[in-house]
Each structure stands twice: as C-alpha cells, then as structure tokens.
Structure 1
C-alpha cells in the first residue's frame, strides 16, 4: 500500500482489486435473487414481495437506535442491520447505479489502500451513516442501499485527491467538487421530490471515509498536517 501525488490519476489504470469485486458480487447477487424471485424463477413462495420482506427483516429502521436505547436491547439481530442494509435496494435501477458507482470508487480507493482498509471504508462508513441518520431523523422510516458505504469510499478518494493537489500546490478545493455536486443534487431531489433526508446518511458516510483515510493511509496524519501547513 503506497501513495504519491500521482496516485489518484494512476489508480484508474490498475486492475480491479479482488475485495472490490467480492463486495460487488455480493451486492449484485442479492439484487439478482430479487429479480429472479420477481419473475417466479425461484419457485413458489418467492415473488416480488420477497424484496420488501428482506428490507423489513434486514433493512435499517430509523426508530431502531432509539428503541435499543430505551429497551437496552443490543442483540445481534438488531446490530446486524447496520451491515445488511447496504446490500438491499428498492429496485433494480437503484442497485445498478449503486454497483456502477461502487466499482468506480472501489477501484480508485482499492488501488491505494489494503483490502481490510477498503472493507472498513465501506462498512464503517455505512454503519456511521445509518447511526447518524437514525439520531437526526428518527421518524424518517427505512434506510437501505449501498450509498452510505459508497460515500465512505468517496471520502477516502477525496482525501487522496486533496493531499495530492496540496502536494502539487494546486487549488485543493477541487478535491471536494464531487461530494459538493452529489450532495447538492440530493438536497434538491430531497426538498422538491422525495422529501426524504437520505443525504444525511450519505454525508455522514463521506465524513467517516475521509476521517478513516487519515488513519489508514501510511503517514496519513503527517500528510494532513503538512497539507494544512501549506495553507
């Protein structure tokens, strides 16, 4: 695992990291099961309602955190939702978009960081996004999808790009263009169309990934200090 100022550009030429392919196959595999169930291929008892059953059983309900605090029930069947919600999507289209974005960001990040680090970026950021979402919007309903974890990867990539631009004495603010655009789109969509606050989970995931990258990149803290001193 190494890093130099040209790493973000060079990462696009590297092969797909195995850990990224493994996670992609898990996300795509779950969606494939839902698709097959919806057309009756899996047999009796497996239909379109199977997706909704899975979301209810393994998705993240925003009331869960407050309920666990009130009842002091932190059983594994509840905590596992902080992981499993990332593999469930509302539709084939949502899953396809998530898979495409995951592969793109996973390749960039996985070319620099180790496999365990990539897993931490995805799962820790997803769990953090879910926790923050539940605390800020406890009545928002269900949270599911790979996007909070993907935003964690975006956070890691943003840190790499930010450090790279700082080292080249280029405008470092450009590193945050992607997250600003994505969150901006979500804000507009949430305010005028869906009325939901999913951007909270995604932004928390991004911040989680950005922070983790400081700790997981060799010399990351020193690079952060050096970058700040250049201001």
Structure 2
C-alpha cells in the first residue's frame, strides 16, 4: 500500500488515540472468525472440505448475478452480496493484509470523522467497489475481500491530505504522487497475480471514499 506524505503538517489532536477503536476490531474479528472456519475446513479439521466454496457461492460478489445472466442462489443475494463479499477472503494472508491496513488507516479516519461516519465510509466503499466491479468486470469468478472498503479509507485519507494542503498553501504534488503510486502498485499486483486482482473494486472503493472525504472533511 502506498504511503501518503504527511510532511509540513501538524497532526490533529484526535490522532493521539492509542490503538484502533473497538468497532474496527469487531469488524476484523468477524472477518477473522469466518476465515478461520473456512481455513480449518480446507485443512479437513471441521465440516466438509467444500465449505469455502459454499460460502463463496452464498456471500461473494458474482458479476453474472449482478448482470442477471444467472439467478441468485438465495432471495436477496443480488443486494446482500454488495456487502457480504467484504467479509470473505481468499486465505489468511489475504485477510491479514486487509486487516492491518483497515486497523491502521481506520484509526486515523475514525479520529477525523468519528466512528459512525467511518463505518458509513467503509460500507459505502464496499458497495462502490462491488458496483464498479459489476459494471467493468466480465468474469465468472467470485469477487471477495475487504479491499474495496480499505481503498475507501485510502481515498478519504488522500482527500484529507488534499484539503489540508490547499488550506495551508502547500504543494499538492505529494497527493498526486501517492495516487500514481497506488495505480502503479495495482498494475504490478495485477501482473504478478496473472489478472487475479479485482482492480475495479479497488478503484470503486477509492472513488467512494475519496468523494466522501471531499464532502466530510471540507470544513474540518
């Protein structure tokens, strides 16, 4: 994940909180519990070994369901999958990466806009990521993970940096450099994963979080 420069800027007083807020740990705990069950099933310790794919079938975001080319597996899936996909991951490493960024950036965002708005940004970004994936991706593979929500936090962080630099008359170059860094990182991971990166979800989440930040932080 790209680092956004904070040079020449005093930290806000709210940022002095030690550790991520409890509601973020609760979200990560739910994701971790789900992944632990699925990983134990994969290893044959509990349930059937196909439990992960059953979970994906019911909770992942499926572009064909979004497009209406295949029917949903259960009533309401076409709507619920915009959120449920964010609680499923492809393994412990996938979960760990998203969890670390969610906790670290979430702490900053919560200090700036409060827990209720932070939760709203997370869910809005998850929906935005899924929506753009549904519109741009044409694949039968399931889309899973909290990356869209995480990129929403990045977008809000960069929107905050943009507002503060403009307010203090500082150059906006670090903001645009960080955005280019995000693009380069996504391209690199897309190549390394042989196209297995849902960049559409990343972009949709980032746009949703960034737009939310431009509105929420305009006068802060």
- TM-score normalised by the shorter chain: which range applies? 0.7 to 0.9
Deviation at 1:7, TM superposition (A): 4.2
Residue 31 of structure 1 is matched in structure 2 by 35
Cα-to-partner distance string for 1:24-69 (whole Å, 9 max, x where unaligned): 1112221122233334443xxx14421121112110111122107x
CA distance in 1: counterparts of 2:128 and 2:17, whole angstroms: 31
Give 1:214 deviation, angstroms. Answer: 2.8
Structure 2 residues without counterparts, runs of 5 or longer: 1-8
What is the distance in 2 between the residues matched to 1:6 and 1:130? 35
- Deviating more after overlay: 50-59 vs 5-14: 5-14
Do the aligned partners of 2:20 and 2:107 also contact (CA within 8 Å) in 1?
yes
The two structures, once aligned, show a CA RMSD in angstroms of 2.6
User: What stretches of structure 1 of length at least 5 have no aligned partner?
Assistant: 224-231
Aligned equivalent of 2:58:
57
Distance 2:179 2:64 in 1: 28
Following superposition, the deviation at residue 117 of structure 1 comes to 0.9
The 1:193–1:78 alpha-carbon spacing in structure 2 relative to 1, beyond 3 Å, is: closer
Aligned to 2:183: 183
- The 5 Å alignment of 1:43-192 reads 46-67=47-68, 75-139=75-139, 141-191=141-191
- Contact conserved, 1:64 with 1:134, CA < 8 A, in 2? no
Deviations 1:88-143 (A, max 9, x none): 11111111111111111111111111222111111111111111111111236321
| Separation of aligned partners in 2, 1:41 and 1:199 | 34
> How many residue pairs align between the two structures?
210
Q: 1: CA distance between counterparts of 2:193 and 2:41?
A: 30
1: CA distance between counterparts of 2:186 and 2:139?
19
In structure 1, what is the Cα distance between the partners aligned to 2:180 and 2:12?
19
Q: In structure 1, the residue corresponding to 2:169 is in which secondary structure?
A: coil
TM-score, with normalisation over the residues of structure 1? Answer: 0.80
SS of 2:40's partner is helix
